[in-house]
Structure 1
């Protein structure tokens, strides 16, 4: 719900570099909400690394948690959070 705290604990269990963030954008990797990012495309998580982020949605809608490394979202590294 709007106002609930959502916490993400992320671990890169893969063999590639990854980064994490939450956006309202249906496509691409822009518009990452402040405070939701873990690493970045220019300084990604290496295999075995992890981190934590959190956010409190201020409005209802569909939020997307994505890998912010270019091309990774398009490969399926995306999920949705429905906020009512």
Structure 2
């Protein structure tokens, strides 16, 4: 997604420690999945995620990475939960 088309509204809630909370419908949309299928993937342990806290010039930002299969969605989120940038990456499958 280009910088010009990024939705800068607050798509995420924040926990008390500042970690983002992603609504299942929002995440399902990013992966082009039905919310029920995303929840099934979560229950089966097929969804991996990581939150990295920005330091220095990136203080106050979080990088959220979510992987399902060979797809990784990465979003940079501000302190107030607004998406600053996002992109979908595809891993090359090796044999």
> After TM superposition, is the score higher than 0.5?
no
Q: TM-score, normalised by structure 2?
A: 0.29
Larger radius of gyration: 2
Greater helix share, structure number = 2
